[in-house]
Chains A and B, each alone.
Chain A
């Protein structure tokens, strides 16, 4: 292991890639693309209008297929490629965890699936997001609104800022029924109370008229969840649902999500950077780095034998109870790459301790299936595994 590590370091120094990167990014910053060039870049604008009563039925239990998704942010400084060809799928009753650092593109992926990217500056450059066989990206805004909240719902990290501060929570939950189901005020309010009870909010009937700031953090997240599951969506995307909460409340919220999933059979996409949360609930994990998937695997095997050096780094940087006092917690050195000026080759190579000269050349490595149900975007994964064992 020591040899390999030294070799990798030597390679990094010998090729001096750091300097090349700096020059490249400087050149791009000096000459940002013009407005006309930006406007010319391809992006997907949906136009297909679906029948209002379109029925959504998954084929063979497959709910969602994301294929070669590209998202970029067109800014004055240049084009930031936030998502570069992400592909994954989600089945009924399945929990897929998307794992990665801040800025790796987890949330942007979720927003692209939901169709709530801020445009401009965010654009879906290419790719498909198929829900029950229909490519959502080709749908007109009107039709996507029917999918949003109704078929695919989403909950966010900070429930205090994600709930509207000036409307009662019951009103905000009931709005789902009023807008999507055309229900009247009193019926929808009754349903809101039911939902608040379903997510275990005590004294729901009395609290339905309270405002978000009158609840605790955990209760607010429950209200977010109640709002998201109001119309029994087939897919629930949870974007860091527990990050803003303290540890005991985190566990309660994850349990609640698990229970709700067991009741309704919805597919759950769990976006997080917390490996501890993932281990308990996820079926499969997709690790993201710099807008790409670098590894996908079922939970057990991924934790046991990570194939990608980045996954290994993430796992090592989790504090362990059995570590010795005074041991330094391992961390992945360096910073995630600048999305405006991505390094050539594997985007992780500048921080990878196993990097070789080849890693910094050509295109980024593609995901390669290593064993059934597992894929990794590193051609040297078997070395890592051998080394790990």
Chain B
């Protein structure tokens, strides 16, 4: 197992390098002028444009730009963005907020998703099952910006349960509604997956054995069926963290959350390669680590899978 983890950690290096190259190149290929709009209503002076392009290496060919950037990264410096702020510092401010947001979303997804999925699976074909199916279908078919807007309107403006937007310094309470909206889609899928998996496993031979052993219904489902049913759900939840990261860009914009998502949005808008690559690569790193944890967890949950 230790060997496996080390191998996976080493594999992350080329993955991360590849990610930086790809994002840098994508950003380089974007049309548009980063200095447009920097000097108010009128165009920037040629001296400023020349200084700006030189300062941020924009006058150099792509490969040189990229290598210069990489050289800094290797020294632990993620560079400075177009506002002349250290990217590392900007991320350090914003990461806690986004992590809090993601944590709320994942908790929501896992806790509510599992409970609803199990409830629905145990009452297959009954009202509870139909109810959960309809609600999840609704969540799946609704785009996040519609869901976010609706949540703001109903819970923020009408009912006044939550603040409509999160603002600069957001705590758990302010982030609760954005987190729930962010987790809603993954929640719907996790619920359905749990339900299907449970229903499938309830028909399994070993569940019949468990009943023949004289075990209670609680033990039959809670211990013998659930452990097997949760295997695909664990895989899905691990993968969904990536989707949450992507979703955070939209959700943070809707609720005006000052997190990594907003920073990425701003960087894309301004064609700010250094800011963009640094922030996205950090997301990729989180995603890789979560996936490693899921894979390790998987071999613990399912003894048939071995990493040795």
Q: Considering the chains assembled together, what is the distance between the CA atoms of A370 and B304 in angstroms?
A: 55
Answer whether residue A72 sits at the interface, using C-beta atoms and an 8 A cutoff. Answer: no
Question: How many residues of A sit at the interface, in one of the four size bands?
Answer: 20 to 34
Residue contact B209 to A165, C-beta cutoff 8 Å: no
Q: Considering the chains assembled together, what is the distance between the CA atoms of A165 and B229 in angstroms?
A: 12
Residue contact B205 to A166, C-beta cutoff 8 Å: no
Within 8 Å CB of B204, what residues of A? Answer: 161
Instruction: Name A161's closest neighbour in chain B (CB-CB).
Output: B205
Given contacts A145-B214, A148-B213, A180-B214, contact A165 B302 (CB under 8 A): yes
Q: Considering the chains assembled together, what is the distance between the CA atoms of A179 and B214 in angstroms?
A: 8
Residue contact A154 to B212, C-beta cutoff 8 Å: yes
Q: Considering the chains assembled together, what is the distance between the CA atoms of A116 and B224 in angstroms?
A: 15
Within 8 Å CB of A378, what residues of B? Answer: none
Indicate which residue in B211, B219, B301 contacts A166 across the interface (CB closer than 8 Å): B301
Answer whether residue B215 sits at the interface, using C-beta atoms and an 8 A cutoff. Answer: yes
Within 8 Å CB of A176, what residues of B? Answer: 213
Answer whether residue A15 sits at the interface, using C-beta atoms and an 8 A cutoff. Answer: no
Total cross-chain contacts (CB, 8 A):
71
Within 8 Å CB of A153, what residues of B? Answer: 212-213
Within 8 Å CB of B206, what residues of A? Answer: 161-165
Residue contact B213 to A146, C-beta cutoff 8 Å: no
Instruction: Name B302's closest neighbour in chain A (CB-CB).
Output: A166
Given contacts A165-B302, A166-B228, A211-B303, contact A179 B208 (CB under 8 A): no
Residue contact B227 to A166, C-beta cutoff 8 Å: yes
Residue contact A156 to B214, C-beta cutoff 8 Å: no
Within 8 Å CB of A180, what residues of B? Answer: 214
Residue contact A179 to B219, C-beta cutoff 8 Å: yes
Answer whether residue A175 sits at the interface, using C-beta atoms and an 8 A cutoff. Answer: yes
Residue contact B205 to A147, C-beta cutoff 8 Å: no
Indicate which residue in A116, A158, A179 contacts B212 across the interface (CB closer than 8 Å): A116
Within 8 Å CB of B219, what residues of A? Answer: 179
Complex interface bits, A340-371 against B, C-beta within 8 A gives 1, otherwise 0 = 00000000000000000000000000000000
Indicate which residue in A161, A163, A179, A211 contacts B215 across the interface (CB closer than 8 Å): A179
Q: Considering the chains assembled together, what is the distance between the CA atoms of A176 and B212 in angstroms?
A: 11
Residue contact B304 to A146, C-beta cutoff 8 Å: no
Within 8 Å CB of B212, what residues of A? Answer: 114, 116, 148-149, 153-154, 156
Q: Considering the chains assembled together, what is the distance between the CA atoms of A146 and B301 in angstroms?
A: 30
Complex interface bits, B291-308 against A, C-beta within 8 A gives 1, otherwise 0 = 000000000011110000
B182 to chain A, nearest CB (A): 32
Answer whether residue A227 sits at the interface, using C-beta atoms and an 8 A cutoff. Answer: yes
Given contacts A149-B214, A179-B219, contact A213 B209 (CB under 8 A): no
Within 8 Å CB of A240, what residues of B? Answer: none
Given contacts A165-B206, A179-B219, contact A211 B213 (CB under 8 A): no
Residue contact B213 to A227, C-beta cutoff 8 Å: yes
Within 8 Å CB of B169, what residues of A? Answer: none
Within 8 Å CB of A227, what residues of B? Answer: 213
B249 to chain A, nearest CB (A): 38
Residue contact B301 to A148, C-beta cutoff 8 Å: no
B302 to chain A, nearest CB (A): 6
Q: Considering the chains assembled together, what is the distance between the CA atoms of A145 and B210 in angstroms?
A: 11
Answer whether residue B216 sits at the interface, using C-beta atoms and an 8 A cutoff. Answer: yes
Answer whether residue A150 sits at the interface, using C-beta atoms and an 8 A cutoff. Answer: yes
Instruction: Name A224's closest neighbour in chain B (CB-CB).
Output: B209
Within 8 Å CB of B224, what residues of A? Answer: 164
Residue contact A211 to B209, C-beta cutoff 8 Å: no
Q: Considering the chains assembled together, what is the distance between the CA atoms of A176 and B208 in angstroms?
A: 15
Residue contact B211 to A116, C-beta cutoff 8 Å: yes
Nearest 9 interchain pairs by C-beta: A149-B214, A148-B214, A161-B205, A164-B206, A149-B213, A162-B205, A211-B303, A154-B212, A116-B211
Q: Can you name 19 extra interface pairs (CB under 8 A) apart from A116-B211, A166-B301, A213-B303?
A: A116-B212, A141-B217, A145-B215, A147-B214, A148-B212, A149-B214, A149-B215, A158-B205, A162-B206, A164-B209, A164-B210, A164-B228, A165-B304, A175-B213, A179-B213, A179-B214, A211-B303, A213-B304, A224-B209
